Amino acid sequence: MDVFIEPIGKLINEFSKLPGVGKKTAQRYAYRIVSMTDGEVQTFAEAVLDAKRRVRFCKVCGNFTVAGEELCAICRTRDKSTICVVKEPRDVVALEKLHTYTGVYHVLHGVIDPMNGVTPNKIAIKELLARVQEGGVKEVIMATNPDVEGEATAMYIANLLKPLGIVVTRLAHGIPIGSELEYTDEVTLERALVERKAL
Amino acid sequence: MDVFIEPIGKLINEFSKLPGVGKKTAQRYAYRIVSMTDGEVQTFAEAVLDAKRRVRFCKVCGNFTVAGEELCAICRTRDKSTICVVKEPRDVVALEKLHTYTGVYHVLHGVIDPMNGVTPNKIAIKELLARVQEGGVKEVIMATNPDVEGEATAMYIANLLKPLGIVVTRLAHGIPIGSELEYTDEVTLERALVERKAL
């Protein structure tokens, strides 16, 4: 006999599909659902379905937008002369939390990674080129992650954009604020040394 | 402007209601939902609703059972002369995973905790007494947690059952197998010393 009754077993299985959720955590989540009121569970399930039903990608930048709004709120209202290029929508969230960036974004939905079959045409590079070629763009900030694929993607795109006379910049790499030199990894430390700045 | 569009913000809020889930984790879950196929999201939401709709409590032991089955599979098929008393359905799961216990359970749905307003009549103690008074029960194993409330509840129930001529036992406390004496907390170590057994 199974240790879980069927509807709970199924729910545990579904929760296990979420990132970083193992059987034990999924079990805790399932029990919480069962102990919620009917109304609370209804609201929960509706939010899940609604997020899938009502979330679209912005036709310009590729970030999330609400169904019915072709352009996201950022593309509708912000300075279009600066485009910040990121890998995923979650990177937009990280930058937006600063409340200091006033430009727009371009979400690539991936980075170039030939080992895993992600060639440049599989991510939104040509859409970025089209935006730039429409004119009015002064600077493109490459904000892909500082890993091998992120760096390669940034270089690849920079090489495409520079001939168009666009200023292409990259987020600074270096020692994180508040950390200690002693515990900074060698690659970061070397990068910080090479890219040292005049005081 | 909010960093999340409304349907995603709502879903993050719902996921945050699950135990141990903060904003950051809820955000990861929400993004996973959005990146699932329509069918996968439908299955996920259905499992949530279904768990709430189809899960009932067994009329005898108080553990989970499927709607339509008054008695849970354990109460229907197992040896009723031994009842193992636990705090919550999750404790049944922990014991069932051993595959060695052949008796039935009684889920209290809480433990006596007067400081938080949980008096003996608020948990399923009278239901346990009724089961025992029906006859045929030889042993009641108290398997509440080894904390203050769990111990007090075990003692309280034992005092009610002993006059009925029932053998009342308690799960053994002591040094966990595989752990080291040096790192065992003092309370556990003292308990292990007091309850030492002849070899």
Give pLDDT tens digits for A47-59.
Answer: 999 999 999 999 9
Residues A17 and A98 in one domain: no
Residues B105 and B33 in one domain: no
Q: Is residue A1 part of a domain?
A: no
Contacts of B49 in chain A (CB under 8 A): 41-42, 45
Q: Is residue A97 part of a domain?
A: yes
Q: What is the ipTM of this complex?
A: 0.81
Residue B33 maps to which CATH number? 1.10.8.420
Distance CA B3, CA A92 (A): 8
Cα diameter, chain B? 71
Q: Is residue B196 part of a domain?
A: no
* A189's tokens: 């430390």
- Which residues have CB under 8 Å from A116's CB, separation 6+? none
Q: Is residue A62 part of a domain?
A: no
Cβ atoms of A64 and A86 closer than 8 Å: no
Indicate whether A162 pLDDT > 80: yes
Q: Is residue B143 part of a domain?
A: yes
DSSP 8-state secondary structure symbol assigned to residue A1: -
Residues B88 and B161 in one domain: yes
Total number of domains constituting chain A: 2
Residues B13 and B97 in one domain: no
pLDDT tens string for chain B (199 positions)?
A: 478 999 999 999 999 999 999 999 999 999 999 999 999 999 999 999 999 999 999 999 999 999 999 999 999 999 999 999 999 999 999 899 888 999 999 999 999 999 999 999 999 999 999 999 998 999 999 999 988 999 999 999 999 999 999 999 998 888 888 888 888 888 888 888 888 877 7
Residues B89 and B160 in one domain: yes
Residues A52 and A114 in one domain: no
Q: Is residue A192 part of a domain?
A: no
Neighbouring C-beta atoms of residue A96, cutoff 10 Å: 17
Residues A156 and A85 in one domain: yes
Nearest CB to A18; choose among B32, B48, B89: B32
Contacts of B20 in chain A (CB under 8 A): 25, 28
Indicate whether A199 pLDDT > 80: no
Residues A23 and A102 in one domain: no
How far out from the chain centre does Cα B52 lie?
Answer: 17
What is the per-residue pLDDT for A192?
A: 84
The answer for A 84-123 residues in CB contact with B (under 8 A) is 89-90, 93, 96-97
- Cβ <8 Å between B44 and A5: no
Indicate whether A178 pLDDT > 90: no
CA distances from A152 to A132, A188, B95 (A): 20, 17, 52
How does the average pLDDT of chain A come out, rounded?
92
Q: Is residue B116 part of a domain?
A: yes
Range name among A119-133, A148-162, B179-193 with the lowest pLDDT average: B179-193
What is the per-residue pLDDT for B180?
A: 84
pLDDT tier at A198, thresholds 50, 70, 90: confident
Residues B52 and B83 in one domain: no
Residues B51 and B133 in one domain: no
Residue A119 maps to which CATH number? 3.40.1360.10
pLDDT tier at A185, thresholds 50, 70, 90: confident
Full domain range(s) for residue B22: 6-56
Residues A96 and A151 in one domain: yes
